[in-house]
Structure 1
Amino acid sequence: MNGYLKESNFMMVEEGFTTRDLLENLLVELCQASDQQAFFVADLGDIVKKHLRFLKALPRVKPYFPVKCNGSEGVIRLLAELGTGFACANKAELVQVQSLGVPADKIFYSSPCKQVAHIKYAASHGVQLMTFDNEVELSKVARSHPRARMLLGITADSSPSAHPMAFGTTLKSCRHLLEAAKEQAVEVVGISFHLGSRGLEPQAFAQAVAAAQLAFELGTELGHRMHLLDIGGGFPGTEDSRARFEEVTATINSALELYFPEGCGVEIIATPGRFYVASAFTLAASITAREEAPAEQPGSDEEEPSSKKSLTYHIGDGIYGAFSCLLFDSLCPTPRLHKRTCPELPLHSSSLWGPPGHPEDRIAEGLELPELQVGDWLIFEGLGAYSTASALPGGGPQPHITYAMSRLAWKTLQLFQGKPAQAEEERESLCTPLSCGWEMAETLCVPPVCTPASII
């Protein structure tokens, strides 16, 4: 073990004890203490599985985890233990990762728009790998970090309207920027692109790799020693995504073999974020207030009044906290109702909002839920990416995170050190298929005992 993650950093659980069991125990304690604060449960074993799955699907690609996706300490410690690199967007993330002892050669300063002070910090702390896509960024680096190793970011989509916030230069502008880098004695070592997760199609990766190969040839022609390709992120983090992970990676492998065949001397990295952490985090939040819309009056004496209500619920966290992922490209996960017993209850049109007093803090609408009361708890799965769970330490109030890992996952992690193939074999032989334990009945009652292994 490398010493980044210790048993004291998480709760060790025995086999057969699931995320649902842990949530149940924590909710019982909170209810007894009358504590209604939202909290996360993080299944670190799920991240171990995702890492092994990534290495198996993309054996030539080294992952650099984007800290902005989830900078919680347990996640960073675990990924450092697994040997991943880290993509940092600013000085705060650089400081956080290096404070844990991650070496500078495993850090990629990946922001396309960097503050000069942050560039100087990276230079003084040995972080060399960076990216640029315009002359302004190139000049800042040339003045502040003469030892930087730069990746030229290119647009990976020929239709910018599909990714209106995408960074990167066009292929037409590559020659000018590569020539400018040569003039300013900036070392360009490769090409970077990032598709993101919006409307991801496997074929888009193939087109981006083809474009990167053209940019590589141009850089080599101009005298740059090109040897590094960054294929970015955008990999689906949950199984309900439109494009399945293995479908995407099969296309990537084919494109890499065609344009950057093994043995060509090019190292390949990627920045998978939500793939690693989205499914590992579950949020529990309680109802803090409710409102009921006036019932519609029947049109005549013969008509029976409808028993269906329109209900609005407020919970203890919102889009500026645990649900900040909704400000990006995510949809609110369907909530699960936590109740020990639950009779057959009619469903009502419901909406979820953050704390009262914030009219813009809308979490979800059009939900069909049984009638809930203040103090009831809702469970949200898949909130591990770009939510409060991702907040850096010291960034303000945030829900408590309980990290958990099974003894089997801990053993797998130990086996993984230098022996990923053996760890994969061990996982396959000892772990049952992932079963999250949240297969709720249509009435949203708590289900019977589920198949073990939510936490591997």
Structure 2
Amino acid sequence: GHLPGKSAILVLLEKSQWFLLDHRNYLNSQRYYNMKRFDHCKYSNSSIATNIEGQSENIENGQFHSELSKDQIVIKDKSIQKNGMPPISTLPVEEILKSYLTTLDLDNCETESDNAFFVADLGEIYRQHLRWKTNLPRVEPFYAVKCNTDLTLLRLLAALGTGFDCASKSEIKTILDMGIDPSKIIYANPCKQSSFIRFAAEHDVKMMTFDNAEELRKIKRFFPNAQLVIRILTDDSKALIKLGTKFGASLNNTGFLLQTARDLGLSVIGVSFHVGSGCYDENAYIDAIHRARFVFDQATELGFNFNLLDVGGGFSFSHKSDDGISFEKIAALLGPAIDKYFPPNIRVIAEPGRYYAAPAFTIATHIIAKRTVRRDIEEEYIPNMNADQNDVSPTGDDHPAFMYYINDGLYGAFNCILYDHQLVTPKVLMKGGNFLFGETLDEPEYSCFIWGPTCDSIDCITKNGSLPELLPGDWLYFEEMGAYTIAAATKFNGFKQSKIIYTTTEPHVLDALSL
């Protein structure tokens, strides 16, 4: 009904499924979720005035309409707003997309309501966590915050009990501000700014990595009580993103570094490694385990008592092997190798990032412009031909038939193409007003370029696309877009970062978040 500014409505849809609308999202919720389409409840189509000062809103003169009984409508107090949680649906991603797009009137919609947007299924993160615990029960995941810094994702992972791999003061502060114990953080950047080391010391974030002698001297000066982990060099030649050119001490140098740490009176507690992101050879992990064991033995000879092994990141998130190797295949080798070379008293952690974040996010993008390429580059215009069909043929020759321009790109969420070597696959979401999520169209496909919205010619998402002919106003979607997308997006040319709509297809997520 008529609510105070900081209130929220909690509508119980089923025994373990509910839908939250806070005071700032009534207007958006009509557009996002189209509750009139729900089987369980609906509200009348009304004018909703939202005030940025947080004043009360009016839902058709204060009347909330529901097919539920009165005792199933619960008014929640300010604590939900204090927790900072956004609205979370329980609909499948497909239904969220459909509800949003089928109610969007491009002729009359508000400015920017046709922007690109993400749908994040928190249920995917939950299922990935269960998958991890099933396949690598001994290894504690410390989520790589750099991969995706979305607060809702981070809160869910914290609720599930993961630790956090942080690379900067800002990332550490983000995690500490969530109330996470400092012992659940590893400062996994071997080359740190001095003031950041001081910040870690002031907040008791003790675990941190190093791979060079100067770093040890710096840590001795600013955080002599730190618990250090030596980052070693591994064979990352079978990875898409090779980190060994920048980080990691070679086995020829580890003895010297450990001796230096001992001379400085520093505490070194273990070894970390990273085989590189997108590793497509599971044997790289086994080689790294052997190297780590070698350094453990070196440390014992020098009087250290190591108790930690950090096996890094780079884990595949897919159940398939077409993106490298499956997580299950890696785990089937890595788990037994850990048990063979490291006794049960050794704590084992890892730094997965894309494993958790990538599969949870789908982005929907709007085609804002189109060029028929061959007509534009034709040397001699043939007036007798139909202009719409002039020199356009299905996929199979050397030049694109069409160029499509969408409203997110390399400077936004698709920076993953440039920096993370990610291969993205455009799929048709909406064509001619028809919702086509997950469908295969029985239409000829044409080669195409897909460009982002900025004025930079580097802003190209793909130059080898193959799609049916589309028009401005149609929509595309890209799946598995949660890793190294949002975290590195910019506002270049004044384009906003794509918003996120949250849902969960796993009811236990709501329990985990205590909502």
Quickly name the TM-score band, shorter chain normalised: 0.7 to 0.9
Letter in 1 for 2:313: G
In structure 2, relative to structure 1, the CA distance for the partners of 1:328 and 1:365 (3 Å cut) is same
Counterpart in 2 of 1:187?
A: 267
Paired residues in the alignment total 404
1:24 corresponds to which of 98, 109, 112 = 98
SS for the counterpart of 1:242 is coil
Root mean square deviation, CA, Å? 2.9
Alignment of 1:46-445 (within 5 A): 46-157=124-235, 164-166=242-244, 167-239=247-319, 240-262=322-344, 265-295=345-375, 307-308=393-394, 310-339=401-430, 340-341=433-434, 344-388=442-486, 397-406=496-505, 408-410=507-509, 413=512
- Please state how far the C-alpha of 1:229 moved relative to its aligned partner: 0.3
Shifted more, 25-34 versus 406-415: the winner is: 406-415
Gaps of 5+ in 2: 1-78, 381-389, 395-399
Counterpart in 1 of 2:32?
A: none
**How far apart are the structure 2 equivalents of 1:261 and 1:351?**
54
- Please state how far the C-alpha of 1:389 moved relative to its aligned partner: 5.4
In structure 2, relative to structure 1, the CA distance for the partners of 1:305 and 1:272 (3 Å cut) is closer
Q: Could you say which structure has the greater relative contact order, defined with CA pairs below 8 angstroms and 6 or more residues apart?
A: 1
**How far apart are the structure 2 equivalents of 1:242 and 1:139?**
39
- Structure with higher Rg: it is 2
Would you say the 8 A contact 2:238–2:280 is kept in 1? no
**How far apart are the structure 2 equivalents of 1:162 and 1:387?**
17
SS for the counterpart of 2:507 is helix
**How far apart are the structure 2 equivalents of 1:133 and 1:28?**
54
Would you say the 8 A contact 2:236–2:242 is kept in 1? no
In structure 2, relative to structure 1, the CA distance for the partners of 1:161 and 1:102 (3 Å cut) is closer
Provide the TM-score with structure 1 as the length reference.
0.82
- Please state how far the C-alpha of 1:261 moved relative to its aligned partner: 3.4
**How far apart are the structure 1 equivalents of 2:402 and 2:391?**
17
SS for the counterpart of 2:504 is strand
Would you say the 8 A contact 2:135–2:328 is kept in 1? yes
In structure 2, relative to structure 1, the CA distance for the partners of 1:101 and 1:350 (3 Å cut) is same
Would you say the 8 A contact 2:415–2:488 is kept in 1? no
**How far apart are the structure 2 equivalents of 1:136 and 1:12?**
47
- Please state how far the C-alpha of 1:344 moved relative to its aligned partner: 4.6
- Please state how far the C-alpha of 1:118 moved relative to its aligned partner: 0.6
- Please state how far the C-alpha of 1:337 moved relative to its aligned partner: 1.1
**How far apart are the structure 1 equivalents of 2:235 and 2:292?**
11
Shifted more, 133-142 versus 169-178: the winner is: 133-142
Would you say the 8 A contact 1:71–1:390 is kept in 2? no
**How far apart are the structure 2 equivalents of 1:156 and 1:134?**
15
In structure 2, relative to structure 1, the CA distance for the partners of 1:129 and 1:356 (3 Å cut) is closer
- Please state how far the C-alpha of 1:328 moved relative to its aligned partner: 2.6
**How far apart are the structure 2 equivalents of 1:328 and 1:306?**
33
1:9 corresponds to which of 70, 85, 89 = 85
Would you say the 8 A contact 1:9–1:403 is kept in 2? no
**How far apart are the structure 1 equivalents of 2:224 and 2:83?**
41
- Please state how far the C-alpha of 1:97 moved relative to its aligned partner: 0.9
**How far apart are the structure 2 equivalents of 1:351 and 1:414?**
42
Q: What is the CA deviation profile of residues 156-202 of structure 1, one whole-angstrom value per residue up to 9, with x for unaligned ones?
A: 11859986532101111011000000111111000000112234311
Would you say the 8 A contact 1:290–1:312 is kept in 2? yes
SS for the counterpart of 1:151 is strand
In structure 2, relative to structure 1, the CA distance for the partners of 1:204 and 1:278 (3 Å cut) is same
**How far apart are the structure 1 equivalents of 2:391 and 2:148?**
49
Letter in 2 for 1:55: K
Counterpart in 2 of 1:450?
A: none
- Please state how far the C-alpha of 1:9 moved relative to its aligned partner: 2.2
**How far apart are the structure 1 equivalents of 2:454 and 2:252?**
51
- Please state how far the C-alpha of 1:391 moved relative to its aligned partner: 6.2
- Please state how far the C-alpha of 1:414 moved relative to its aligned partner: 7.6
Letter in 1 for 2:373: A
Letter in 1 for 2:149: G
**How far apart are the structure 2 equivalents of 1:352 and 1:197?**
26
- Please state how far the C-alpha of 1:216 moved relative to its aligned partner: 0.4
Would you say the 8 A contact 2:243–2:274 is kept in 1? no
Would you say the 8 A contact 1:43–1:403 is kept in 2? yes
Would you say the 8 A contact 2:147–2:484 is kept in 1? yes
- Please state how far the C-alpha of 1:4 moved relative to its aligned partner: 11
SS for the counterpart of 1:9 is coil
Letter in 1 for 2:497: Q
Q: What is the CA deviation profile of residues 99-153 of structure 1, one whole-angstrom value per residue up to 9, with x for unaligned ones?
A: 1111111111111211001111010011000000011211111111111100000
**How far apart are the structure 2 equivalents of 1:231 and 1:174?**
17
Would you say the 8 A contact 2:227–2:267 is kept in 1? yes
Q: What is the CA deviation profile of residues 264-322 of structure 1, one whole-angstrom value per residue up to 9, with x for unaligned ones?
A: x2100000111111010000111122222124689xxxxx9654461111111111211
Letter in 2 for 1:399: S
**How far apart are the structure 2 equivalents of 1:407 and 1:158?**
36
Would you say the 8 A contact 1:238–1:382 is kept in 2? no
SS for the counterpart of 1:118 is helix
- Please state how far the C-alpha of 1:399 moved relative to its aligned partner: 1.1
- Please state how far the C-alpha of 1:87 moved relative to its aligned partner: 0.5
How high is the sequence identity, in percent, across the aligned residues?
A: 38
**How far apart are the structure 2 equivalents of 1:404 and 1:97?**
23
**How far apart are the structure 1 equivalents of 2:144 and 2:279?**
20
In structure 2, relative to structure 1, the CA distance for the partners of 1:158 and 1:279 (3 Å cut) is closer
Letter in 1 for 2:305: R
SS for the counterpart of 1:141 is helix
Gaps of 5+ in 1: 299-303, 416-456
